[in-house]
Amino acid sequence: STILSKSSNNGSKQILWFLAPLDDKGVAFLKIEHDNKSDEMRMWLPAFKKVRRISSSKKGDSFMGSDLSYEDMTSRSLEENRYKRLEDETLDGKDCFVLEVLPNEDIKSTYSKHITWIVKESLIAVQEESYDLGGGLRKKKKFFFESISDYHVINKIFVEDVQKSHTTTLTMEDIKVDSGLDHSLFQEKNLKRLPRN
């Protein structure tokens, strides 16, 4: 698929439009994360001419048939989890902290825990394993970054659903930062409008 994505506030607001393949063209997704209430997620489905609200009970569902779930598409705030430092490891030649991340019960996560590798020098998460509610390994994720104007920006995500023996690679190109986005862009009405740029 080819997607145009715009985000603000470190990814807490995101709107994206599917441009290709033709079957998916015009499908759009809006995510607005909140600190003190449930996140908002909506999808515009042109074939049905309706906006569908993604409820918290559906956050484990696949996002557009990929190995990413709606929950995978949202950030995790520090307060929503408990943390345990595991033994440090070297990953791809980089010294990493390794953390066990346990979601608080009130979060209603579809995962029981995550093991996350964070590069010590940059404090960037580069790898993660996510476990289902039964404690079994569900997904392996790898995150790749590039530096743009002093920002570390994700340019590729690789996800393997271990239980389904299936993978998804999400590649970001033509990334722009500090582009002066208007915050009014992040509204439901804009899901129906394919942008020109």
How many Å apart are CA 17 and CA 190, to the nearest integer?
Answer: 10
Q: What is the pLDDT at residue 74?
A: 86
Per-residue pLDDT for the chain (197 aa), expressed as one digit of tens each?
A: 787 787 887 778 888 898 888 888 899 999 998 877 778 899 999 999 999 999 888 889 999 889 999 999 888 888 899 999 999 999 999 999 999 999 998 888 999 999 999 999 999 999 999 999 999 999 999 999 998 888 888 899 999 999 999 999 999 888 888 887 787 888 899 899 877 65
Cβ neighbours, 10 Å, residue 169: 13
Cβ neighbours, 10 Å, residue 29: 21
By three-state DSSP, how is residue 105 classified? helix
How many Å apart are CA 19 and CA 75, to the nearest integer?
Answer: 24
CATH architecture of 2-192: Clam (2.50)
Q: What is the pLDDT at residue 5?
A: 82
Q: What is the pLDDT at residue 197?
A: 56
Characterize the bridge pairing of strands 124-131 and 137-148.
Answer: antiparallel
Closest by CA to 24, choosing from 197, 194, 174, 196, is 194
How many Å apart are CA 74 and CA 186, to the nearest integer?
Answer: 15
Domain assignments of the chain as residue spans, ordered by start:
2-192
